[in-house]
Amino acid sequence: MSSADLVALWLTLKLAGISTLILLLIATPLAWWLSYTQSKVKVAIEALVALPLVLPPTVLGFYLLLSFSPQGFLGATLAALGLPSLSFSFAGLVLGSVVYSLPFVVQPLHHAFVEMGQRPIEVARTLGASGWDLFVSITLPLARRGYITAAVLGFAHTLGEFGVVLMIGGNIPGKTQVLSIAIYDHVAALEYGQAHWLSGGLLLLSFALLVFVYAINRRFDLVKT
Amino acid sequence: MTLQVAVRIALGEFLLDVRFESGLSGVTAIYGPSGCGKTTLLRAIAGLQVVPEGTISVGSECWLSRDVNMPVHQRRVGYVFQQPSLFDHLDVAGNLQYGKKRCGSTEGKIQFDEVVSVLDLENLLGRRVQALSGGEQQRVAIGRALLANPRLLLMDEPLASLDAVRKAEILPYLDRLSKDFATPILYVSHSLDEVIRLADQLILMESGRVKASGNLLRILEENQLDPLFGQPFSLVEGRVTRLCTEHQLTEITAAGLKILMPSMDVEDRQLVRLRLYAKDISLTREEPKASSILNIFPARVVSIDDAQHPAQKIVGLRSGDSFLLSQVSRLSCEKLQLKVGEQVFAQIKAASLVH
């Protein structure tokens, strides 16, 4: 593997890791709200969250790119605050990944919260728990399957991202060149050997992560019965 | 300590509109048919149900008013749900400790060992909760609620999810609960058997309203013919005064009556309650001299009401300090010329022990 490939690999893992962390932070309140709200806008929010599942990544990337431009909503706001532009930057990639992988994190958490129900929370509140203590001592352990599934799926899905990254990140080695784009470059340059290394690696890693998710779910099923 | 409640909650078509004040000592039962709002009321008291309009106060503390809405975790109510609802990720000891760790003050605290021994949990402590039977799970849930040292223990039909065998297994623990711990209990039930066995006070509910509240025996007496109570009966409270081994009989003295019953599993001086169905008490004008019935008492007629069946009447009687009901046919009523204020003899054919 060339050093450029190693840089791309590292960048990809960093992107997936940071995006997953941010996703878990955002998705927890969002999934919680979706699980218990009676609000009429719930369906619309659910559909919005699920959009990245069906849209071509290039469409997402295109709109993100427009919003990053100095005339765009995000770009103008950032410029007004004196912050650097998100276009062709790592931070822009993180934002794109978060949007792109949102449903993969929200949905497992949503299912976990619905399955858990309100009852354990109610019991814990009558026993004197509240706030952060309640979340750490009850919600997190009871929804752990959902959290593990959400984290792994969010991570694995971000690993394979291509369209969004290409649209908003360009292809700057060491800055925005991720694994999937490096593979594309190798194939375009007819360097099939290197493309094999990277593709095979990604294939095995994704497979291993999914086996892990299914094994975890199965193990908890066995424990439960 | 008194509980004062005045709340209005509209849930779709259903309106809960209750206003009552009740002393809190021992067990206070909230009794009424399914769907009358008992659970909603209990949840409102715990703070689990949003109450748009109302006040709730316990002792000198206000839990809910126009300006106050104390959060659930500060009300310190132990809540036992119909389903045991144990925390799956903790073992039995972990469940028991959950509330204990969070209840703060150590003053007058209910002791872990005491709860474990009263509820017979020693052998369960290290077990996973999934491995317990329904009855065991409910015992752990009760222990968990008690150990949070609650000011008030709320129980929402804790036996309803159990079969008859498990129910019988838990009831003795509930008896001990009110005797061994000072924590007042609010007990929601639609089972009359549980209520007359466990309760000291009664809050009677029907379609979203409180019909009556107060001392159990008094409420029963005042509402004796309410269809909510099924077949008319009277409840007397007394003590075992003699165990007569020769004839295998037990004597129970209840409010001036000495009632002989077949030997039962009770101890001398034990407090007991007897349920006397109106259909098991007959009346005579003259004292029967040679009757096979053991329990015959002089009584005064205090009321005569129509029974559900048009052929029958329910006669209310005072005998000693006890209030009894007798179901007689209208024909007998006319033949004996029964009138309020007259003296008769009540023959008790059967009684059942409830406590």
Positive or negative, the CA dihedral A211, A213, A216, A218 is: negative
Nearest to A53 by CA among A15, A102, A93: A102
The alpha helices in B35-189, defined as continuous H runs, are: 38-46, 72-75, 92-102, 112-118, 134-147, 164-180
> Which of B196, B316, B219 is closest to B23 using CA atoms?
B219
Backbone φ and ψ for B230, nearest 5 degrees, come out as 65, -140
Interchain contact, B99 vs A128, CB within 8 Å: yes
What is the per-residue DSSP string for B166-195?
A: HHHHHHHHHHHHHHH----EEEEES-HHHH
Set of chain B residues whose Cβ sits within 8 Å of the Cβ of A123: 79, 81, 85, 87
Q: What is the pLDDT along chain A (225 residues), one digit of tens a residue?
A: 678 888 888 999 999 999 999 999 999 999 999 998 888 999 999 999 999 999 998 898 899 888 988 888 888 888 888 888 888 888 889 999 999 999 999 999 999 999 999 999 999 999 999 889 999 999 999 999 899 999 999 999 998 888 888 888 878 888 888 888 889 999 999 999 999 998 998 899 889 988 988 888 776 654 443
Dihedral pair phi/psi, residue B60, rounded to 5°? -95, 0
Asked if the model's pLDDT at residue B168 lies above 90, the reply is no
- Residue in chain B nearest A143 by alpha carbon: B89
Distance from CA of B81 to the nearest CA of A (A): 8
Which residues from A are below 8 Å from B81, CB to CB? Answer: 119, 122-123
Contact between B5 and B20 under an 8 Å Cβ cutoff? The reply is yes
* % of chain B beyond a pLDDT of 90: 47
pLDDT tens string B302-330: 999 998 889 999 999 998 888 999 999 99
Which of B71, B88, B103 lies closest to A130 in CB terms?
A: B71
Question: B-chain residues within 8 Å CB-CB of A128?
Answer: 73, 76, 99, 102-104, 148
Residues of B in contact with A137 (CB under 8 A): 98
Q: At what angle do helices A90-116 and A57-68 cross, to 10 degrees?
A: 120
Residue with tokens 């990639």: A93
Nearest to A12 by CA among A199, A210, A196, A216: A199
Q: Does residue B299 contact residue B287 with C-beta atoms inside 8 Å? A: no
- Assessment of whether the complete model's pTM goes beyond 0.80: yes
Question: Is the ipTM above a cut-off of 0.90?
Answer: no
Q: Residue B144: closest CA among chain A residues belongs to which residue?
A: A127
Q: Which candidate from A122, A138, A142 shows the least CB-CB separation from B48?
A: A122
pLDDT at B161 (0 to 100) = 83
How does pLDDT run across B13-62, given as a tens digit for each residue?
Answer: 899 999 998 888 889 999 998 889 999 999 999 999 999 889 999 988 99
Decide if B73 and A138 are in contact by the 8 Å CB cutoff. no
pLDDT in tens, B190-219: 889 999 999 999 999 999 999 999 999 999
Mean pLDDT, residues B96-112 taken together: 79
- Is B172 at the interface with chain A, CB within 8 A? no
- Which structure tokens are listed for A75? 């770009």
**Is B73 in CB contact (< 8 Å) with chain A?**
yes
Which DSSP string corresponds to B244-296?
ETTTTEEEEEETTEEEEEE--S--TT-EEEEEEEGGGEEEESS--SS-S-SEE
